[in-house]
Structures are given as C-alpha cells and as structure tokens.
A = this chain, B = another copy of it.
Amino acid sequence: MPDLLADAFERIQSEVDGAFDAFLPVPQDTRARLVEAMRYAAIGGGKRVRPLLVCATAQLFGVTRQAAVNAGCAVEAIHAYSLIHDDLPCMDDDDLRHGKPTLHKQFDEATAVLAGDCLHALAFDILTMPDTSNDPFVRAELVAALAKASGHEGMAGGQMMDIVSDEQNYDLRQVTRLQQLKTGALLAASVEMGAILGRIPPEGRTHLRAYARDIGLAFQIADDLLDVEGDEEKAGKALRKDEGQGKQTFVTLMGRDAARAQAEMLVEQAGQHLASHGSDAALLVELARFVVKRDH
C-alpha cells in the first residue's frame, strides 16, 4: 500500500474512532449496556473505507475536514448497524467480525438488535449536527442521500435479494444488480455525500457516480474472490461461506480469472472517470486500487 493511502487510512481510522468516542458517552443509567454495545461495534474496527471515500471526495472541493469526518461517521454508523443485524442468528449467524466476537455473541441478541437500531438513528442525528454543515440545505441533502442508499431501494433491499438468493438461480445481471444495491449503494452514497458537502449540484456529480459504481462492483468481485482465496485470520471473519451455501457469485458465474480481470478493468476505468481532477484525485485513485488488492 503506497504511503499516501496508508497515511490516509491511519488518519481516518483515528478520526472516526475519536468522533464515535465523542458521540457516544456512556450514560450513568441502565442504558449503559446499550451504549457500550454501540461503542463495541463503532470504535476500533473496520478499515473505514466509506469515511475515507467521503473525505477523499470532499477534499476535492475544499470541504472542512470536520464536516467530512462527521458525514463519514454517519455512513460508517449505517455500515456498522448493517453488519450487526446481518450477523444475527436469524440472518447470516456469524460469530466473528473484525477479528472479535460478533455483537450478539459478546452481548446478547436483544442488545444487538437495539444497538444496531441506535447506530441507525445516530447516523441521521450526526448529519443534522451544525458542525456537519451549517447549511440546512446541505444537511437535508445528506440525509436524503443516506436514507435512500440504506433502505429498501438500496443496501437493505440488496440484503433481501441476497437472502432469497438460495432459492433463486441468479444470472450475472441479477448478481450485479444485487451487489449494486447491497454494497454499491452505500459506497456511492459516500462519494455523493462528499460532493454534497462541496455543494456540487447533481449534474456535476456524474463522473463521481461513475467512479463509485465501478469501485462498488470491483469491491464486491474482490470480496467474492476473498471468500474463495482469502485467509480467515487476516479477514477477521468466516470465509468459504458462498461455496457452502451454493450461492451464485461473480466468481461462480465468471470463474476466478475472468472475475479478477473484470475487477482490474473496473479499477482502471474508475480512475479514468476522475481524470479531470488531475493529481487532486490521487487518493481516490489509490483507494480504487486498494479495493481489489486488499487481503481483508
């Protein structure tokens, strides 16, 4: 990983941890357990790809760091809640996440459902804070983008398509659509929110949306490859799950080599969409490359 990207990850990880620590003081009453659970899920885990996407995009448009980190935390709170709920016994029934016991294992299922719900609400709470933006129009736009990307028309809708995929025999078009919703929508929202903070109107975001669409798909292809080839210890979660469930993925539908070639093509293309920004977009270009090279 080049220094530019390694430094950027280190910085955002520390900023996001610090922000969640400040957002989530533990109350002196019986809600303490709930807030402890939220902190367990939100602090000290995950690569923070989504907050970095928000910040790297916002940086193109001279947005203050504080605003971008806050918006990044909102996306990350949505991502964290979705992982908690996805890991539940009635969903994927996973025991391990970011190398630690999943939330319902460490606490209990009821606390996991509630802590997820509270991180969900926290995301929108953060977006309406004055230090996220002092312009209410920007705040309302951020909320609209994140609500749309996370609900039934986005991430959660994709999760539903994934759940029923055992009974379906999805083709490549359908798997692509599923992943565009399940993973792509929130990655795209991250980029979109960086542009919203920069007061870029929708028609000025076309190339950013194209970048986001490409890295979203590349990300998921890489995830499918990782499920087949990855190291469980580095990944910090259970792998080889797709095969066990007989699930259609980019790898089963395309084969490993074609999948890898496709991911690399998408990353190349993603970088080209940002050509007009020149070297200002170096971090976003590196981030696109990282998405397919990561081993966890």
Cα separation A127 to B88 with both chains bound (whole Å)? 29
Q: Which chain A residues in 15-29 approach chain B with CB under 8 Å?
A: 27, 29
Complex contact B118–A144 (CB within 8 A): no
> CB within 8 A of A124: which of B109, B114, B118, B147?
B147
- What copy number does this chain have within its complex? 2
Cα separation A146 to B143 with both chains bound (whole Å)? 12
Complex contact A152–B118 (CB within 8 A): yes
Complex contact A156–B33 (CB within 8 A): no
Which of chain B's residues has its CB closest to A152's CB?
B118
Interface of A is mostly: helix
Most buried by B among A27, A29, A38: A29
Question: Residues of B contacting A261 with CB < 8 Å?
Answer: none
Question: Residues of B contacting A254 with CB < 8 Å?
Answer: none
Which of chain B's residues has its CB closest to A164's CB?
B30
Classify chain A: how many residues form its interface, as a range: 35 or more
Smallest CB separation, A221 vs chain B (Å)? 21
Question: Residues of B contacting A161 with CB < 8 Å?
Answer: 29-31
Residues of A within 8 A of B (CB): 27, 29-31, 33-35, 38, 81-82, 85, 88, 90-91, 108-111, 113-114, 116-118, 120-122, 124-125, 127-128, 136-137, 139-141, 143-144, 146-148, 150-152, 156-157, 159-161, 163-165, 168, 177
Question: 17 A-B contacts, Cβ less than 8 Å apart?
Answer: A27-B157, A29-B161, A34-B157, A35-B152, A91-B110, A91-B113, A113-B113, A114-B160, A116-B117, A117-B120, A121-B152, A124-B143, A128-B147, A136-B136, A137-B137, A140-B143, A143-B143
